[in-house]
Amino acid sequence: MLKINIESDNLVFRDIRKENLEKVLELYNQNELNIYATGIDLPMSLNDINEKYLEVLVNSHEFFTGVFLRDSAIYDLIGVIKGRIDYENNEEAWISSILIDSSYQKKGIGKRSIGSIMQLLNKSYDVRRIYIGIIAGNKVGKKFWQNLGFDYLRTIEQYIRLNNNTEDFIIMKKDI
């Protein structure tokens, strides 16, 4: 796993560990909009999460980062960010999903999280360009990435089937 370890005021970003997986599962299954982070329109099982975790664990380009809210000695997992540095071009990275606990949304935490991760990717790994992919029906997600300065790059048509609809996939990018 690509190591991420950042402290930014009350937010701490660090690698998901095995003991966090039950909480990660809770977050993924928390509400229907989270299918936009998982790309799967069914509740996930602990087995599914375990498989994802093991795939990342053995891969030095991929990160699976927890967003922890720190209150004195307590670290509460309130979000997850997944992505990878490109295998062929190390100056490029993909953030494949971000999910923030619905009771902590719209407080700027997603924005701070992506800002911190992009800064680390740039400073520690010399990444200069970030790509994200988003399911076209995800209106909130689109606003989120636009607000962070991501620009539309291209659309992959009929990319994924969710809730009996075939959805396009939009690629956006930002130079950092």
* Nearer residue to ligand COA within complex by CB, 43 or 126: 43
Q: From CA 60, how far away is CA 77, in angstroms rounded?
A: 23
* Nearer residue to ligand COA within complex by CB, 128 or 142: 142
Q: Which residues bind ligand COA (CB under 6 A)?
A: 33-34, 36-37, 97-100, 105-111, 134, 138, 140-141, 143-144, 147
Exposed/middle/buried for 60, CB within 10 Å: 0-12, 13-18, 19+?
A: exposed
Least CB distance to ligand COA at residue 114 (A) = 8
> Which of 108, 140, 95, 122 minimizes the C-alpha distance to 176?
122
Name the closest residue to ligand COA (Cβ).
110
* Nearer residue to ligand COA within complex by CB, 38 or 120: 38
Q: Which two tokens stand for residue 122?
A: 């740039």
